[in-house]
Amino acid sequence: EVQLVESGGGLVQPGGSLRLSCAASGFNIRTAYMSWVRQAPGKGLEWVSVFYSDASTHYAESVKGRFIISRDNSKNMVSLQMNSLRVEDTAVYYCARDPVATAKIFDYWGQGTLVTVSS
Amino acid sequence: DIQMTQSPSTLSTSVGDRVIITCRASQSISTWLAWYQQKPGKAPNLLIYKASSLESGVPSRFSGSGSGTEFTLTITSLQPDDFATYYCQHYHDYPYTFGQGTKLEI
């Protein structure tokens, strides 16, 4: 059974850093594209970043230069290092799987982890 | 970036109703469109991919159609479990973007 479990959220001051992790089970993350998607309180969904199966990456303009996505194959985990955090980064952060080999997109999501940026 | 516009934002409905939600893309995305259902405090759940393909396990009362820039999600005979917020999302190219959501209310 495919599962994604996020961790690492919490309260951080503006300008601070936080590292989120997404532990995958039931599949090998090297065979998928892994994305982070966030949702500000009471708002809609925003795609943030993707780690491709070939280890390349892509970011939304709103986080480019501040966030870094990475993958640990030995732990079957993807992470999001968030630096220079802003109040507007406050959101629930989800990791989601893009299975790639099919026409599907984001067929599995984690439960989400809340990041609050506030002084 | 491709902008996705959903309508309506809120829809007052009743059990048994037929519901149609519309999603418009700012440029052609072929059929690279997905629909999700989200309930409060939960992650989104994939309903439809490639504009009209039903995800495994999703009830057949959900269906999607469209191509290019105009898409619809139809729910026939609304059930109590269907009251939620629905999002469209394109995956034509990055950045993937979502519609603003449509909330179904009783």
pLDDT in tens, chain B (106 residues): 999 999 999 999 999 999 999 999 999 999 999 999 999 999 999 999 999 999 999 999 999 999 999 999 999 999 999 999 999 999 999 999 999 999 999 8
Residue A102 has pLDDT above 90, yes or no: no
pLDDT in tens, A44-69: 999 999 999 889 999 999 999 999 99
| A109 half-sphere exposure, CB direction, 13 A CA radius | 23
Specify the pLDDT at position A11.
98
Least CB–CB distance from B43: residue in A46, A103, A109: A109
Specify the pLDDT at position A21.
98
3-state helix, strand, coil in chain B (%, to 5): 5, 45, 50
Q: What tokens appear for A36 in the block? A: 């982070």
* Neighbour order of strands in the sheet with B4-7: B4-7, B19-25, B70-75, B62-67
User: Taking residues A68-79, what's their average pLDDT?
Assistant: 97
Do residue A58 and residue B55 have CB atoms under 8 angstroms apart? no
> How far is it, in rounded angstroms, from Cα A112 to Cα A9?
9
Q: What tokens appear for B4 in the block? A: 């996705």
Specify the pLDDT at position A100.
84
Beta-bridge mates of residue B101:
none
Helix (H, G, I), strand (E, B) or coil at B15: coil
Least CB–CB distance from A94: residue in B43, B49, B97: B43
Specify the pLDDT at position B4.
98
Task: Return the amino acid letter for B34.
Answer: A
Select from A22, A45, A93, A107 the residue whose CB has the most chain B CBs within 10 Å, as the one to mutate to test that interface: A45
Do residue A47 and residue B96 have CB atoms under 8 angstroms apart? yes
CA distances, B70 to each of A105, B24, B29, B31, B90 (Å): 19, 5, 9, 10, 11
> How far is it, in rounded angstroms, from Cα A19 to Cα B100?
27
Specify the pLDDT at position A52.
93
3-state helix, strand, coil in chain A (%, to 5): 5, 50, 45
The values of phi and psi at residue A32, to 5°, are: -130, 165
Specify the pLDDT at position B35.
98
